[in-house]
Structure 1
Amino acid sequence: MCTLIVFYRLLEGFHVVAMHNRYARRGSFEEPPRVSKGRFKAYHPVDSSSKGTWVGFNEEGLFAAATDQHTGGPIHAYRSRGLLLLDILTGFSESSEAVDYVERELTKGYRRGNFIIADRKQAFHILKDERVEVTPIDPGVHVFTNLTLKGWVRTENVPEDLLKYVEMRRRRALELASQIEPKVVDRVIEELRRVASDHGEEPGRGSICYHGETGWYMSSSTIMAVAENPGDSRILYCPGNPCEGRFLDYSHILREGGGGAAGALAEVYEESGKLSGRRIALCLTGSVASIEAPKLARWLRRHGAEVRCYMTPAAVECGVSPKVMEWATGMPVVLELTGAAEHLVDYDLVVVYPATLNTVCKIVQGVADNAVTVLCASTSPTRLLLAPAMNLRLYMNPAFKEALKRLKRLGATIIEPRISEGAAKVASVEKALDYVIRALSTSVLRDRGILILTGPTRYDLDPVRYISNKASGKIGYWLAKEAFQRGCRVKVIYGPGTVSFPEHIPVVKVYTVEEMLDATLRELETGRYEAAIFSAAILDFKPATYEEEKVKSGTEWRVNLVPTVKVIGEVSRRHPDVRIVGFKLEHKVSKEELIDRAREELEKVGATIIVANDLSEIKGEHHKAYLIDREGRIQRFDGEKAELAGKILDMLEESLTGRPL
């Protein structure tokens, strides 16, 4: 944290324009600007180790930055100053409130440093040395380095050469910045880019573009223009020395809420927050199947993930365009590694989609010869998810099969391809998305067995007619997907409904009530299941007889119905350790009567949860229900079936909290 130039309230429409050249110890790494969410959205680069920052601003226009104060003091600190800066950016809109917070926090044992906080009306410099001093900042050009000298600041422990170089750098920065005419923001930014690359008389420890001794290096330069209208703000970032690299424009993250380079076109609607806060690397290799990758990237973002694409040279040559992936992810694509050390970014998950034979075998052998394989080599196998795609002959190659087995043994997840038309085709976007969410799930249901009964049951009256009930199996579909995404070992017992389940969810198809009971008991006796969810519409009655010949039309036909076996009761009796989630369906009854009947059912079968619903209040995907648990708590639900599935599993999670696997 070393040379900071701030233009405060000098440009019309921009209360802060700043340049921050950061110098860091070798072995430390950082990541390009991104969005952090708290009370306010904040825009800032990220320190890979602390996850904090050294410069940024938020959607309310509050700017904050920090530099070191090399006068000694404790090396080990209570907390990173970068995290303190992030607290400011995500939690405050006014500089005065932020300053009060920082003053209180600095009493807890942070390392020494300089903090600059500015909003549209006020700006402050907070110096943390042997004591804390707050000084207002007037409109003008200001320079801060890694050493602020005041009458009370002791420098006897500061090396003379450090004093010399810091002062040399400060004077040079102030001289150059003062020559910039603060009228047009684009012009000021262009001039600051030149200042960031300045060497003075020669490159070295005293130059703004720092070229120091072995232990230190210049990690990046960041330029920010904070506008009165937040959407007009600017962010430029250059990894490494700007004299050798180039500034990339990250202003798009202001519009996208994540990070990207395609402006408003890269925006996505929010489907859920299942991947909120998760950082995913989506790696493309040389397969035509990569045409599916933009869809996957968009869906990952719709569920809240921040996605960045890495591409091999072969992917660029024969796959989807990097510009398309830049649009899909909302971030610049990594085609080759730079001084920003993109291969050392700490991703929550690295997804190789599609994964060719060549890339898979390289990963297994530790070959690191492009952006994708280097990233995979630096990532724990437990955070690798690969979706193979290739010709079937290649897929059946013994060496490749052995490579997949080895990856699985190391902890990687393999999404099996679809075998069709002589090819091992890359897994569908839906399947890949489910696997990603599953891989990152922290649910207490993870690795627990969940058996789901869904769909209708039927009995034939004659060869062409049958008796059944109104049920599609949709709620079971959403329950199965939700359970899979939470990491459950899920299996479905499915009557003849109208939905198709994802190929990665095992389904046992049944027809009659007896078949459903037999399949359920067989599963519970052979598998380890924590819970069974009875969302099936199981017939209460069945025909006493079956007509072998088609009954002729126009004749009177009386059908005698007899009761069927109670599947939920039999399961409760034979497997009392399995938690039961039951459904109670009524038609046009009062709320009180519906809840009373549901409670009776809960006690009768010893259920953990009963979902009470009225058929008259179920319209297509929309569902109204009451969720009742054994503690007597009642949750009213009014929403989509997919949301109801999530609520049911949320309640099941609560009932399982603290219970060992």
Structure 2
Amino acid sequence: MSFDLSVISNKKIILAVTGGIAAYKSAILVRRLKDFGFDVRVVMTKGAQAFITPLTFQALSGNPVHTELLDPEAEAGMGHIELARWADLVLVAPASCDTIAKFSAGLANDLLSTLYLATKAPVWIAPAMNQQMWAAKATQRNLNTLVEDGVHVIMPEAGSQACGDVGLGRMPEPEALAQQIMDYFHRAQRAIAEKFGMLAGKRVVVTAGPTREAIDPVRYISNHSTGKMGFAIAAACYAAGAKVTLLAGPVSLDTPNGVRRINVSSAIKMLDESMHQLEEGCDIFIATAAVADYRVAEVAEHKIKKAGDELNVSLVKNPDIVATIAQQTKRPFMVGFAAETRNVEEYAAGKLVAKKLDMIACNDVSRADIGFASDENAMTVFFADQYQLEKRDLEKASKQDIAQQLVEAIHDALHYEIEPV
């Protein structure tokens, strides 16, 4: 599953490490959190330092490690208050039986327990201990108290333990913990987007990639489209709060997070699925797919054998998907794309009018730096006359950045109000 890492690139995580053999996993966890783009600071109890050194975490996190309640280098010596205000989330992993008891009782006799009481950030704990200590009534009572106080408890896993016992008490693997935190921030971001995003509440259909028009069971007609631009737009629409359905031609790309993907192959199948999505409900239709203009009139039932120096294949015109959708009675806001090799803006402006679109984005695919396989693009956007919006030149940037700018353009057109004369 893919994610938009910009969602969490500025998020700050405090990883608190307590005494236990599972502390070695915490070093790997720091690396995984950093890989996801989080800024990580580590707090260690004295027990944790008996298992692993602060220097290890300093090297992995790139930040000083905090071990003392009263830090003479912190402002006014109040390091715990600074940390408490800095964090977007506090994760205690491993969380020892002793630390859980301290949290439950409200003690504040070391840096971590004081930080717990002083922070407004969400607190997550990943308990790790002997299976009998986990099952003890006192431990379960303390955990229930923390849950009532709003602490998120990540349940331990069962398996062999360092002491030789077998049972619940193992800390989950670092990759799983990091993924849970990643998912948490994406859910939070999604909730905000669904309420306040530029496309909040909109249903968007995006077509992307090429189509394949069969000649026989092993050959087909297609083009060089990779689908990268369409997939980037689908991701940007989702990030803007929309419910997104992506009609994808045959491409080798991961489905954007949160996007519903439907794979299609031919132009006819893409049109059929587009019409079906229109019936289900569609507010915005974005046609980025490079649909084949023609298909073979009669597809051979079996592989065509070589016979002579020439092979004549009769082609018939494919339906124009974006024009067909635009002609429907309950038409959505229509966004077309024009990939041209010459007279780019002239051809695009003509398509905007001829196909009755609301907006069209065009680019010059003859340029090697922004062609089909490139990770960058540059586009010009035209709007239908009724929106009275000037054309926009989107300078060369990553396709993700271009997609964000296109979402902004769609938002501006949707919210344009014609001033009374």
Same fold at TM > 0.5: yes
Q: Which amino acid aligns with 1:615?
A: V
Q: 1:323 to 1:475 in 2, by over 3 A?
A: farther
Partner of 2:285: 532
Match of 1:645 in 2: 403
The match for 1:309 among 41, 45, 50 is 41
- The whole-number CA distance in structure 2 between the counterparts of 1:323 and 1:384 is 27
Say whether 1:349 aligns with 2:88: yes
* Counterpart selection for 2:221 from 438, 443, 467: 467
Residue 583 of structure 1 aligns to which amino acid in structure 2?
Answer: F
From the superposition, tell whether residues 654 and 557 of structure 1 become closer, same or farther in structure 2 (CA, over 3 Å): same
Task: Provide closer, same or farther for how the CA distance between residues 503 and 376 of structure 1 changes in structure 2, counting only shifts above 3 A.
Answer: farther
Q: 1:425 is paired with a residue of what secondary structure?
A: helix
Equivalent AA in structure 1 for residue 34 of structure 2: A
| Residues 655/648 of structure 1: CA separation in 2 closer, same or farther (3 Å cut) | same
Inter-CA distance 282–570: structure 2 relative to 1 (3 Å threshold): farther
1:281 pairs with 4, 10, 13, which one? 13
Greater radius of gyration (CA): 1
- Whole-Å separation in 2 of the counterparts to 1:645 and 1:351: 33
Contact 2:236 / 2:403 at 8 angstroms: preserved in 1?
Answer: yes
Does the CA contact (< 8 Å) of 1:478 and 1:645 recur in 2? yes
Q: Residues 654 and 293 (structure 1 numbering): CA distance in 2 closer, same or farther, change over 3 Å? A: farther
Residues in 1 aligned to 2:219 and 2:295: alpha-carbon distance in whole angstroms: 13
Higher strand share: 1
Specify whether residues 654 and 572 from structure 1 end up closer, same or farther in structure 2 by C-alpha distance, changes over 3 A only: same
1:602 paired residue number: 352
Contact 1:611 1:625 (C-alpha < 8 Å) held by counterparts:
yes
* Corresponding residue for residue 291 of structure 1: 28
Given candidates 406, 413, 418, the residue that maps to 1:655 is 413
Q: Secondary structure at the match of 1:568?
A: helix
Cα root mean square deviation, aligned: 4.9
Shift, 1:323, TM fit: 4.0
- For 1:468 and 1:597, the matched residues in 2 are separated by 22
Q: Which whole-Å CA distance do the structure 1 matches of 2:200 and 2:123 have between them?
A: 17
What is the alpha-carbon distance in structure 2 between the residues aligned to residue 273 and residue 344 of structure 1? 23
In the TM superposition, what whole-angstrom CA distance separates every residue of 1:425-457 from its partner, at most 9, and x where no partner exists? 346599659828946766423454433221111
Alpha-carbon distance in 1 for matches of 2:375, 2:266? 25
Contact 2:7 2:185 (C-alpha < 8 Å) held by counterparts: no
SS in 2 for 1:300: coil
> Is residue 282–residue 297 contact of structure 1 (8 Å, CA) maintained in 2?
no
What is the aligned-residue identity percentage? 21
Q: Sort the Cα spacing of 1:503 and 1:445 in 2 relative to 1 into closer, same or farther, 3 A.
A: closer
In structure 2, the CA distance between the partners of 1:519 and 1:387, relative to structure 1 (3 Å rule), is: farther
Structural mapping, 1:618-637, within 5 Å = 618-619=370-371, 620-630=374-384, 631-637=389-395
Q: In the aligned structure 2, how far is the partner of 1:523 from the partner of 1:492?
A: 10
2-structure distance, mates of 1:503, 1:606: 32
Corresponding position of 2:362 = 612
Match among 423, 435, 438 for residue 186 of structure 2: 435
Q: Which amino acid aligns with 1:331?
A: N
Q: Give the C-alpha shift of residue 503 in structure 1.
A: 5.8
1:583 paired residue number: 337
Gaps of 5+ in 1: 1-270, 302-306, 391-402, 415-421
- Residue type of the alignment partner of 2:247: I
State the distance in 2 between where 1:451 and 1:583 align.
Answer: 14
Q: Which amino acid aligns with 2:404?
A: G
CA separation in 1, counterparts of 2:247 and 2:325? 14
Structure-2 residue corresponding to 1:80: none
Tell me if structure 1 keeps the 8 A contact 2:376–2:398: yes
Is 1:569 the equivalent of 2:323? yes
| Residues 382-438 of structure 1: CA deviation (Å, up to 9, x unaligned) | x75979999xxxxxxxxxxxx9xxx9xx9x9x9xxxxxxx98934659965982894
Q: What is the one-letter code of the residue matched to 1:506?
A: R
CA contact (8 A) 1:624 1:637 kept: yes
1: CA distance, partners of 2:51 / 2:306: 61
Matched residue SS, 1:492: strand
Answer 1 or 2: which has greater helix percent. 2
- Aligned length in residues: 349
Q: Which gives a bigger RCO, structure 1 or 2 (Cα 8 Å, sep 6+)?
A: 2
Structure 2: segments with no counterpart, 5+ residues: 71-77, 129-142, 155-171
Counterpart AA for 2:41: C
Aligned to 1:51: none
TM superposition shift of 1:294: 2.7
Kindly provide the amino acid, as one letter, of the partner of residue 435 in structure 1: H
Are the structure 2 counterparts of residues 611 and 375 from structure 1 closer, same or farther at C-alpha, using a change threshold of 3 Å?
Answer: farther
Deviation at 1:610, TM superposition (A): 1.2
Encode CA deviations 1:332-359: one digit per residue, 9 max, x unaligned.
345576544448844583275x988999
Deviations, residues 524-558 of structure 1 (Å, cap 9, x unaligned): 4436x542322111122111111111100244432
**One of 300, 306, 310 as aligned partner of 1:553:** 306
Letter in 1 for 2:399: K
Find the partner of 1:425 among 160, 176, 183: 176
TM-score normalized by the length of structure 1: 0.43
Q: 1:544–1:562: 8 Å Cα contact kept in structure 2?
A: yes
The aligned residue for residue 483 of structure 1 is 237
- Report the secondary structure of 2:327's partner residue: helix
Letter in structure 2 aligned against 1:543: V
Q: By how many angstroms is 1:379 displaced?
A: 6.5
Asked if structure 1 preserves the Cα contact closer than 8 Å seen for 2:16 and 2:43, the reply is: yes
Shift, 1:611, TM fit: 1.1
Label 1:308 to 1:627 Cα distance change in 2 as closer, same or farther (>3 A).
same
Alignment equivalent of 1:501, drawn from 255, 259, 264: 255
Distance 1:461 1:315 in 2: 70
User: Could you tell me which amino acid in structure 2 is paired with residue 586 of structure 1?
Assistant: E
- CA 1:554–1:547 in 2, change beyond 3 Å: closer, same or farther? same
CA displacement at 1:478 relative to structure 2: 2.2
